[in-house]
Amino acid sequence: MRLAELSERARVPRSTIKFYIREGLLSAGAAHARNQASYGTQHLERLELIRALREVAALPLAVVARVTAELDRGWQGDPIGEALLAMYALPAPATGDAPERRRLAKEVRAFLRALPWTTDDDRHYFADEIAGALVQVRRYLYPDYPVANLASYAEIAWLLSEAEFELAPGGARVPVRARGDDLAEPTRRAILASVLFEQIFAALRRCANSMRSIRVATGVRVPPASVTRPARKRVARRKRAKP
């Protein structure tokens, strides 16, 4: 399709499309002549992805650019879904070149590798992101905060991911790239799900912390946490009942 049609169907102004192309978020159309190019559905889907990430997840364009760049690298033949790879690019871009951060990132990477559930896939930026936050934690809060303290967080994160996979009607599961070109839809869904449920969980966490604070402060009973495994369809019994 022509630019005009793409613009109309995606409901994105032409100038914006050109802007995205300039910025590398969108590939240029196949040029037949110097002033003639045609665009495919992948352009439409990409525009929808960009819109979703911008409007729904409110990601800055620079982050969207990293995500789309990751998608464009094309990981065919890789067992890992492309959406997954794109998620690798979601974290903030290693703010500050402090050598301290790099040192910490190494430590965090080792910590992650030692977890029972990580794979040896090492292309992720998670460690950098965590290290960046840890630098701030040490600077502003606890000068000697040990990386090992993250063990409980990691365990709970794994538990959370288990719950997410059980709960999402097929959505948390990142789709493995299949043959064919129209994989953008599940990709968009996976990325969006990741971002949206991150927001929801963060709110619940703040809520929980607030309530715990109130209870501790007022001497009200603080109920212990216990986790029920979601059974196939619905919520289940206590975990203690297991082995």
Q: Rule CB under 8 A: is residue 90 a binding residue for its own copies?
A: yes
Q: Which stretch binds DNA (CB under 7 A): 11-19, 117-125, 137-145, 175-183?
A: 11-19
In angstroms, the CA 174 to CA 162 distance is 13
- Torsion of the alpha carbons at 5, 6, 11 and 12, rounded to the nearest 10: -130
**By CB under 8 A, residue 17 contacts its own copies:** no
| Pick 10 or 84: Cβ nearer DNA | 10
Q: With binding defined as CB under 7 A, does residue 18 bind DNA?
A: yes
Residue type, 66: R
* Among DNA, its own copies, none, residue 4 binds (CB under 5-8 Å by kind): DNA
Q: Does 36 bind its own copies (CB under 8 A)?
A: no
Question: Within 13 A of 201's CA, how many CA atoms are on the CB side?
Answer: 13
CA distance 30 to 54: 26
Q: Should residue 2 be labelled a site residue for DNA when binding is judged by CB under 7 A? A: yes
Compute the chain's Rg from CA coordinates: 22
In the complex with its own copies, the residue whose CB is nearer, 9 or 173, is: 173
Give the nearer residue to DNA in terms of CB position, either 29 or 81. 29
Task: Assess contact for 95 and 126: CB atoms under 8 A.
Answer: no
Q: Which of 73, 31, 29, 69 is nearest to 49 (CA)?
A: 69
Which of its own copies, DNA, none does 227 bind, CB closer than 5 to 8 A by kind? its own copies
Q: Which of 28, 30, 62, 157 binds its own copies (CB under 8 A)?
A: 157
Query: Is the Cβ of residue 44 or residue 61 nearer to DNA in the bound state?
Result: 61
Closest CA to 167 of 242, 88, 85, 228: 228
Paired residues of 5 in beta bridges: none
Touching DNA, residues 45-84 (CB under 7 A): 54, 60-62
> Which C-beta is closer to DNA: that of 13 or that of 24?
13
Q: Which two tokens stand for residue 60?
A: 């800055």
Instruction: Report the interface residues with DNA, using CB under 7 A.
Output: 2-5, 12-16, 18-19, 21-22, 28-29, 31-37, 54, 60-62
